Amino acid sequence: MLGTFVNVGAIIIGTIIGCFLKKGIKEQYQDALFNAMGFAAMALGIRTIASNMNNSKYPVLFIVSLALGSLIGSIFNIDEKIQRLIGKKSKSNLGQGLTTGVLLYCVGTLSILGPVMSAIHGDNSFLFTNATLDFVTSMVFGSTYGIGMILAAPILLAWQGSIYLVAYFLSGAFFSKDLITEVSIVGGILILSSGINILKIKEVKVLNMLPALAFPILFFVFKGII
C-alpha cells in the first residue's frame, strides 16, 4: 500500500500547491485554464481509447456498458445529486473538475496495474510513476478548480486500495490484461466526454455515465463463474 499512499499524498500536495498558484492568476485568465483542461481531457481520452481499442477481444462490450451504465445513472440521477451535494452554482465548477480529475487519476493502466504489482510482487514502481504524473496534473486542477479537488484523493485511495486487496487475496488473477483493456476503453470515453463538457461543446452529464465502468468488471466476474 506504500505506493498508493504516495500517490494519494502527491495529489493532496499538488492540489495545495495549485491553489497557491491560482492566487497569482488573474480572474480574466481563468477561461484559458478551463480551455486547456478541456482540450487536455479530450486528448487523453482519445489516446486512451485508441491505444486500447485494437486490443479489445469484446468489441461490443464498451457499447453495452455505456448504454446500460448511462441508463442506470440517469434513472438514479447521479449527476444532480452530486452537484447538489457539492454546490451546483459553484463558480469553480467543482463537480465538473472532480469528475474529470477522478477519471484521470483512477482510469489508466498505471493506476489499475500499479496496486496489483504492489500486492503481488511488492513492486511500487508503477505507482511511483503514476504519483509523479498525478502530482503535476493535480497542480493544474488545483489552480483551475480550487482546494475542493483534494476530495479526489480519498476516492483514489478507495479505488487503488480495493484493487490492492482483491489482488492480494486473489493473487492478481482477476485483473487480466483483457479486463484492464475494456475498463480503459470505457474510461477513455468518459474522459473524452468530460473534455467536451468543459469546453461547452455539448452538455454531457458524465456523472450519470460513471456506472458504465462497473459493467466490464461484472462481465469478467460472470465470465469467470461460468
User: How many whole angstroms separate alpha carbon 188 and alpha carbon 196?
Assistant: 12
- For every residue of 43-99, DSSP letters joined together read HHHHHHHHHHHTT-S-TTHHHHHHHHHHHHHHHTTHHHHHHHHH-TT-TT-HHHHHH
Question: C-alpha 178: how far from its chain's center?
Answer: 19
Chunked into runs of 10 residues, the chain (226 residues) has average pLDDT values of: 93 92 69 83 91 92 96 90 66 78 84 87 90 90 88 93 87 78 92 89 89 92 78
pLDDT of residue 173: 67
User: How many whole angstroms separate alpha carbon 98 and alpha carbon 92?
Assistant: 11
User: How many whole angstroms separate alpha carbon 105 and alpha carbon 44?
Assistant: 12
Q: State residue 89 phi and psi, 5-degree precision.
A: -95, 20
pLDDT of residue 218: 92
pLDDT of residue 185: 93
Report pTM.
0.80
Cα dihedral sign, 107-109-112-115: negative
Please state the domain extents for the chain: 2-225
User: How many whole angstroms separate alpha carbon 139 and alpha carbon 10?
Assistant: 10
User: How many whole angstroms separate alpha carbon 178 and alpha carbon 26?
Assistant: 46
- For every residue of 93-159, DSSP letters joined together read -HHHHHHHHHHHHHSSHHHHHHHHHHHHH---HHHHHHHHHHHHHHHHHHHHH-GGGGGHHHHHHHH
Region of 146 please: left (phi>0), alpha (psi -120 to 50) or beta: left
